[in-house]
Structure 1
Amino acid sequence: MNTFVLNRHGRVVFPSNVMPELDLSTVETLEQLDSVIRRDFETKAPSGTEILGKVRTGAYATRYDLMRDVALNLFWANRFSITMYDKRPTRWADVPRTRDDVFLPVLRPWEDGETKIAAVEQAYPELPARWDAEVEDRVFGILFDVYGHRRHQATTLPAVKPTVAEFLEQSGALTFRLASYDPDHPVYSYDDIVDCSEDVPELEALHRWAMVLHNQYPWDRSQVELTEASRLRDDDWVVVFHPRDREVRGFLRRLRAGVPPRHAPAPRESRPPVRPFPAVDVRARFAARPRLEALVAVHGDQVCSNEDLIRNTAYNWSPMSAEEIAAKTGIRERRYSSLPLEELALQAAEGALARAGREPEEIGAVLVCTCTSSRLIPSLATYLCGQLGMHQVYAAYDVIAACAGMPYGVADATRLLQEVERPVLVVCAEKFSDKIGNVRTSRMIFGDGAAAMVVGPAPEGDDGDVDLLKTYASGPASEVNSILWPNPEFDNNITVFGPQVKALAGRYLTQMIEELEQLPAPEGREGSMMDAIDLIVPHQANKTMVVQLAERAGLSADQLYFDIDQVGNTSSASIPLAIHDAVRDGVITEPVRVFAPGFGAGAVAGYVVLRVDPAVVAVSTPAVPHEHGADAPAPPPSDETRSASEGMQEAFG
């Protein structure tokens, strides 16, 4: 459920954004569950009383604003049933009385429910449509059919429902009673929800919400009432709750057993090293000089635009427009791959070997830089060796340095060259699209992609292509844990804590630039190493953030190259993908000296200063599928939406 699908209109859809699923395998206490539920449901949703108050004070500007609040209220009212249980209408005579995995909800009548329902019904037609009156009326009809028949109070719902035996012990307890039940009561299918399509992205998202909420009550809602057990007849129907999967059953067992939660030890206060770690002057330190023989990029094959994100607005997202996403991140679209990570990496590796004119048996080592591989045994690097037909290499291993993966990979490749004096294949590959779930910050930023480089020994007398190497790691625990995957608090999906990420990125970027300003320029030139840099290709983390940090460190925006507006943040793959795109877009047309800094998860960072010859880059232009699956060409960019590459061409002549 955490990956993307393409619907019949050719649009990207994230089912998990609208069909809530919690992974309870790592939740140990009710307190942990309550914090997740509060964050994802309660803090985003108004109560019925709050909706009534906003109606009475004229706080709703449009019909959409009212409908959005109604939908959020209904998600909140179903917060436990929609995430933990399957609702199964059952004849009272057929309900098991002694099982410990069958539950009946205890419900309270909705206070002033009729008044709250009437207020919404009367307010809606008096408000102006926001975009499309016909569509908004249709969506409101679905939502109000649920809201208008709501019977129970939502503020006091417990996560753990009583068993049938426990329910019967509670004098006066109320539960749902259905006078009749039609198992063929119409509901929306999975395909109906995925294939939902509206011209206005916000209305498409709201329409999906309405369908999912309708499916929470697959019976004639007009005949539902709250009834005591003593008044139930054998032929009455009650709504029995069953745990939706084995993770929920396991969670309920842990609660009954009283398993004590685990507590991580408190981190020590971080202290700086006893002396700084100097940058590695490659030509002074190593006999075998690294030469970049090839660079190949593999972009994701599916475009996910900011509008696509809005079409997939999750029930736990605060309102945000496509333009606001662009302003906050510098990203207008990101690319996702239909391929698994292994195939992305393999395509890049095969392309790099072909570009370098190398056979697999010539390669001395294989390094894969990634933080999104779920493959532990064998490592992705050794998997590639097997797929490429490498009978034996000196070393093959994965490097988990996240957004600093490329500098780490080149640094390790340089050291391995000294031992094997044979080319090293460095593959940087990431697939985030299936590890995000409905976490908005991560969904806004991350994309999929891969790039591979062949780093070989330069010929005798050749200085090679790498000037400097530098890697760093760690910092305060808050920065080390600023990007997490898996993260139990966010349903084991990747999560980003923005202020901490900005702190570590600013710390490392400032340190890098200060170091380069203190080092002499190469080849006897005047000035510092920083003065000798032709182009800065930073990790494509967040364009807005990186530009701000760079300017704070004394750089100007036109010194930096970005392709993040088109590909998103691909972590370890972002720097080599950006170098490829700079060549493709004509920003790099002759050999240049590039400063490539990376920084991110784990408070890991690093940089490489290297010479990039566009002749070694295999330029590819990925096919862009039309948003609606047609073959129509994309419109040319306007002056307002021109790519970062065009600006870089002007900046660098």
Structure 2
Amino acid sequence: MKPFVINRYGRIVFPFNFFPELDFSTFQTLDQFAAVIKRDFEEKAPTEIDILARVESRGYKGRFDLLRDLALHLFWVNRYAMTMYEKRPTRWRDVARHRDDLFLPVFAVRDGTETTTAIESAYRALPATWDEGTEDKICRVLLDLFRHKKGAGAELPAIKPTVGELLARPKSLTYHLLAHNPDYPGYGHDDIIEFAHAVPELEALMRQAMVLHNQYRWDRAKTRLTEVGQLHDDDFVVVFHPRNDDVMHFIRRVKGVQRVRPRRSAPAPSCRPLRPYAPVDVRARFTVMPRIEAVAVYKGERPCTNDDLVRNAAYCWSPMTVEEIRHKTGIEQRLYTELDLDQMALLAAQRALEKSGRRAEEIGAVLFCSCTSVKMMPSLATWLSGQLGMFQTHASCDIVAACAGLPYGLSEAVRLLQEVERPVLVVCGEKFSDKIGTVRTSLLQTYASGPMSEVDSIIWPNPDFDNNITVYGPEVRALVKRYLGQMLDELRALPHPDGAAGASLLDAIDLIVPHQANKTMVVNIAKEAGVAAERLYFNIERVGNTSSASIPIALHDAVREGVIDRPLRVFAPGFGAGAVGGYAVLRVDPAVVA
């Protein structure tokens, strides 16, 4: 998880949304890098022609929309410079000629006077969207950058020529600064982080304008293009230095002889199982019956509202208002924390043990369910066991089942109970939330795998996309629809546990507490499957999507809100990343919630 900071106004800020930074160690080819650039910069950025066409058709209704398009365009123009290089004005006599890590930009002659004039005139004719003074300030920055940019953008190569390579092409045009002031005004890191405005959209756009201004820390009106062969010793040029060693290694990989990398094997055709996997009837199959002894939760302490998200809108985000976020996802805020995941897990585990009255030496096993743990060896479950004072357990291990973490954890806990006949501590935790508890379960089912489109519906880390998490929306929805439909069909086929004539297990469910993935999506899919929205409980509007921890936290909050005010039979389905799914039918007693 990339870090956040709290500025002096008490607002949460995500610096990485404004300062582009890619992990070049993951790129083996220029095509891989180009795919990331296309995703993050190109797909949402208008060209000069696009902006001018919208101006001429009077497609802009207010100044903000025009300014945002200008900013997106300028980020795209600087897509390679911002991610790969650091620009340093340098006297030509001091520029090394034969190093492979010094580069010069190359441009073609461009006259953007008419386009700039048309855009400026259109801006003046438009009404202010929110705050005329701030919008004018942003406009001055962006228009100055647009007026003096030396290329349209599409012609700029990712890998710039070295100084030596450009000297071999003396007619090539590069930056020539007619005057250079080392103290040319710019914006410091704190200036950008600490900027605040009452309108979230303007706060984000002003930060973007500051970052773009810093790409040209020289008097842009006193900059021209000069042939490299015509430069004199005292002329100032702009030398591009690799931002870090990983960038330089990437450039050398691309320019050098590429070794042949082993190809990934193609996936085998997807085959359905010989027969369906039957749900596990705990009461019929097992001797030792699980029961809830304690449920404890640790939540992130720092709310991040939809307003905060808009304030931190990145150059690569689609425009979305606070209300649109709520409507599309059901989320109004999510909870962030400055604690590490292991510390949150420990706090919740301690609370669970205290609530249950159990001592460390009584616990037979510890299971930790998560897809965001950074502890590989020892596992976080083993680390927890040691921190809690457990000298030895029958089993302490981690389970990676993403959003289906709770059903997977419960399934394994029930099996372990048969072996050890001692309490099992189940922890479902992600970066921002945690839940601990032992459970009483009557029915279990887990699923894994599926067509490759579903298996790869969510990938993290994704080497093709800078090792960031990559979510493919249509595939995720298809996965959820398939798994939730299958789960409901199984419950309809099972008899009512109390023997009611003509009734099914689904009829006996008092409350459905699903994985809190996306409220709008889950409600719509449930309706398609014949389940009314009134039967579902959500707390996603307050805590967001916490993956494996979402169902445990939702159960906790349902008790706190009085929705679960007596022992209820709950259907808890989980589904998500990596084509995993599962559900549990369990009885939840509010008395055990810490």
Q: Same fold (TM over 0.5)?
A: yes
Correspondence for 1:218: 217
TM-score normalised by the chain length of structure 2 = 0.98
Amino acid across the alignment from 1:489: D
Partner of 1:454: 438
Q: Is the 8 A contact 1:28 1:261 kept in 2?
A: no
1:552 alignment partner, one of 528, 541, 551: 528
- The separation in 1 between residues aligned to 2:430 and 2:511, in whole angstroms, is 24
- Whole-Å Cα distance in 2 between the matches of residues 74 and 175 of structure 1? 19
- Secondary structure of the 2:468 match is coil
Equivalences for residues 500-515 of structure 1 within 5 A = 500-515=475-490
Q: CA separation in 1, counterparts of 2:244 and 2:360?
A: 46
1:491 Cα deviation after fit: 2.0
Q: In the TM superposition, what are the counterparts of 1:165-180 in structure 2 within 5 Å?
A: 165-180=164-179
Alignment partner, residue 25 of structure 1: 25
Q: How does 1:278-357 map to 2 (within 5 A)?
A: 278-357=278-357
> What's the secondary structure of 2:461's corresponding residue?
coil
Answer yes or no: is the 8 Å Cα contact 2:35–2:465 preserved in 1: no
Match of 1:477 in 2: 452
Q: Does 1:256 align with 2:240?
A: no
Query: Hey, what does 1:232 align to over in structure 2?
Result: 231
| Counterpart secondary structure, 1:366 | strand
Q: Deviations over 1:464-485 (max 9, x none)?
A: x311111111100110111111
Does 206-215 or 283-292 show the bigger shift?
A: 283-292
Deviation at 1:364, TM superposition (A): 0.6
AA at the equivalent of 2:152: Q
User: Gaps spanning 5+ residues in structure 1: where?
Assistant: 432-447, 456-464, 619-653
SS at match of 1:120: helix
Q: 2:170·2:229 contact (CA, 8 Å) conserved in 1? A: no
Matched, 1:5 2:5: yes
Secondary structure of residue in 2 paired with 1:240: strand
- How far apart are 1:264 and its partner, in Å? 2.6
How far 1:354 moved relative to its partner? 0.7
2:465 matched residue in structure 1: 490
Q: Between 193-202 and 253-262, report the one with greater CA deviation.
A: 253-262
The Cα shift of 1:182 comes to: 1.7
Superposition deviation, residue 128 in structure 1: 0.6
Structure 1 residue 586: deviation in Å? 0.7
State the aligned residue count: 592
Offset, 1:59: 2.2
1:388 is displaced (CA, Å) by 1.1
Identity of aligned residues (%): 58
> Do residues 571 (structure 1) and 571 (structure 2) align?
no
The 10-residue stretch of structure 1 (375-384 or 150-159) with the greater mean CA deviation from structure 2: 150-159
What SS does the corresponding residue of 2:586 show, helix, strand or coil? strand
Distance 2:236 2:92 in 1: 6
Task: Measure, in 1, the Cα distance between the counterparts of 2:442 and 2:56.
Answer: 69
Q: Which moved more, 1:420-429 or 1:138-147?
A: 138-147
- SS of the residue 1:277 aligns to: coil
- Cα distance, 1:231 vs structure 2: 1.8
Shift, 1:64, TM fit? 1.0
On the 8 A contact 1:296/1:580 being kept in 2, the answer is yes
CA contact (8 A) 1:282 1:468 kept: yes
Kindly indicate whether the alpha-carbon contact (under 8 Å) linking 1:142 and 1:214 is maintained by their aligned counterparts in 2.
yes
Aligned to 1:120: 119
1:393-404 paired onto structure 2 within 5 Å: 393-404=393-404
- 1:94 is aligned to 94
Task: Kindly state the Cα deviation for residue 243 of structure 1 after the two structures are TM-superposed.
Answer: 0.8
User: 1:610-649, CA deviations, whole angstroms, 9 ceiling, x for partnerless residues?
Assistant: 110000001xxxxxxxxxxxxxxxxxxxxxxxxxxxxxxx
**C-alpha distance in 2 between matches for 1:57 and 1:276:** 59
CA contact (8 A) 1:413 1:426 kept: yes
- Which residue in the other structure is 1:466 paired with? 441
Q: Which residue identity lines up with residue 453 of structure 1 in the other structure?
A: G
3-state DSSP class of the match of 1:494? strand
Q: Please report how far the alpha carbon of residue 362 of structure 1 lies from its aligned counterpart in structure 2 after TM superposition.
A: 1.0
Other-structure match for 1:84: 84
Which residue of the partner structure matches residue 187 of structure 1? 186
1:292 partner SS: coil
- What letter is aligned with 2:433? G
SS in 1 for 2:434: strand
Q: CA deviation at 1:43?
A: 2.1
Name whichever of 517-526 and 570-579 sits farther off. 517-526
Matched to 1:50, the amino acid is: D
Residue range with higher mean Cα deviation, 208-217 or 519-528: 519-528
Instruction: Letter of the 1:331 partner, please give it.
Output: I
Q: Note the C-alpha offset of 1:255.
A: 1.0
Structure 2 stretches lacking a partner, 5+ long: none
The match for 2:560 is: 584
Query: Offset at 1:488?
Result: 2.3
Q: Work out the CA distance in 1 between the residues paired with 2:577 and 2:6.
A: 30
Q: Secondary structure at the match of 1:605?
A: strand
In the alignment, the residues of structure 2 paired with residue 53 and residue 516 of structure 1 have an alpha-carbon distance, to the nearest angstrom, of: 56
Distance apart, 1:261 and its partner CA: 5.2
1:382-437 deviation per Cα after TM superposition (whole angstroms, max 9, x unaligned): 11112111111111110000011001101111100111111111000001xxxxxx
C-alpha offsets along residues 346-367 of structure 1, whole Å, 9 cap, x if unaligned? 1111111111111111111100
Describe the superposition over 1:16-51 as per-residue Cα deviations: whole angstroms up to 9, x where unpaired.
111111111111111121222122212211222332
The answer as to whether partners of 1:479 and 1:500 remain within 8 angstroms in 2 is yes
**Which letter does structure 1 place at the counterpart of 2:323?**
E
1:605 corresponds to which residue?
Answer: 581
Structure 1 position 54, deviation (Å): 2.4
Residues 356 and 454 in structure 1, CA contact (< 8 A), matched pair in contact too: no
| 8 Å Cα contact 1:29/1:261 also seen in 2 | no
